Amino acid sequence: MNSGRVLVALLIVTGLAGTLVGGPTIFFRMGLLGVLLLIGARLWVSIVGRSLRLTRQPEFWRASVGDIFKEQYEILNTSRLRGGWVELYNEMPLPTAAGSRLMTRVDPGEKQSYVGRTWLTRRGGYPVGPTRLIISDPLGLFRLERRFPAERALVVLPMVVPISN
């Protein structure tokens, strides 16, 4: 159990117990604060989760064994809330596929981008995806998962070796 959940649970339990025993209004306010934090965190995750946009653009769709496969990842936050914790998982079946990343802060209206590089070691056809995003609120109370399916495939051809006369 993470520390955010422990804090909210303590606020609610202490507030409820203190209110039932007949204590001052501070206990009622503590319980109310815990409930409001719970509701606010859930709303935060759902709003930010719906407003994140992901684009994944490979440099090429055909390559040879031994090449470096480069992909540009872009995450755009279209909401007015900051994305507290965003995990991006590249679930491409390519051996040693790179591109998974953790972003701790995606500000409102901000676009974050980076390049994932994978050394191609095996020939074959590989779907470019799926990609999984996991969004969490700043306290870590709730997590929301979004999946983006693969749209196209990368074709890795055998290694090309130049032949001299």
pLDDT tens column, 74-103: 999 999 988 878 899 999 998 888 888 988
- Run of H or E residues at 151: none
Q: Environment class of residue 141 by beta-carbon count within 10 Å: exposed (0-12), middle (13-18) or buried (19+)?
A: buried
pLDDT in tens, 44-76: 999 999 999 999 999 999 999 999 999 999 999
CA distance 17 to 34: 13
HSE-CB of 58 using CA atoms within 13 angstroms: 21
pTM above 0.85, yes or no: no
**Mean pLDDT estimate for the chain:** 87
pLDDT in tens, 104-119: 888 898 999 999 999 9
